[in-house]
Amino acid sequence: MRVTTEWFPIVLGTMVLSLTSWIDYTVFNVSVAYDIGKGIYFVALALLFVLLLLWLSGYSDPKNLKEDLSSVQRISFTAFLAVLMFVSGFFYTVYISSSPTSITWLSYLFFLGFSLALVVNVITWVKIYLSEGVTLGYGLLVPSIALSADVVLGAPILPPFSYVLKDVTLIYAVMLFSLGITTLQFVFLGSASLMSHIQGNRAFPTVMIPLGAASIIGINVLSFPAYNYLGFVDVPTKVAIGIGISLFGFEVWNLVLGFIIALRRVRDPPSLMSWAYVFPVGISMFSAFMLYQETGFPFFSWFIAALNLGVVGLYSFSVMNTVRFVRRGLKSSQRR
CATH number of the domain residue 265 falls in: 1.50.10.150
% of residues, the chain, pLDDT over 70 = 91
In 3-state terms, what secondary structure has residue 175?
A: helix
Q: 130-137: long-range contacts (C-beta < 8 A, 24 or more apart)?
A: 132/70, 132/72, 133/70, 133/71, 133/72, 134/72, 135/196, 135/201, 135/202, 136/189, 136/192, 136/193, 136/195, 136/196, 136/201, 136/202, 137/73, 137/193, 137/196, 137/197, 137/202, 137/205, 137/206
Residue 204, pLDDT above cutoff 60: no
Domain of residue 280, residue span? 5-334
pLDDT band at 202 (very low <50, low <70, confident <90, very high): low
pLDDT band at 210 (very low <50, low <70, confident <90, very high): confident
Residue 230, pLDDT above cutoff 50: yes
Residue 209, pLDDT above cutoff 90: no
Phi then psi dihedrals of residue 221, to 5 deg:
-60, -45
pLDDT of residue 39: 97
Pick the closest to residue 13 from 254, 212, 281 (CA basis).
281
pLDDT of residue 77: 92
Residue range 271-290: mean pLDDT, rounded: 88
Residue 205, pLDDT above cutoff 50: no
Segment 150-179, tens digit of pLDDT: 999 988 887 666 666 777 888 889 999 999
Q: What is the mean pLDDT of the chain?
A: 87
Residue 223, pLDDT above cutoff 50: yes
**Rg (Cα) of the chain, in Å, rounded?**
19
pLDDT of residue 159: 66
CA–CA separation, 23 vs 285, rounded Å? 9
Residue range 101-106: mean pLDDT, rounded: 87
pTM: 0.91
**Total domains, the chain:** 1
Segment 238-254, tens digit of pLDDT: 999 999 999 999 889 88
Residue 92, pLDDT above cutoff 80: yes
pLDDT band at 197 (very low <50, low <70, confident <90, very high): low
CA–CA separation, 85 vs 218, rounded Å? 20
Most confident of 12-21, 192-201, 270-279: 12-21
Most confident of 65-69, 168-172, 198-202: 65-69
Residue 203, pLDDT above cutoff 50: no
pLDDT of residue 14: 96
Amino acid making up residue 265: R
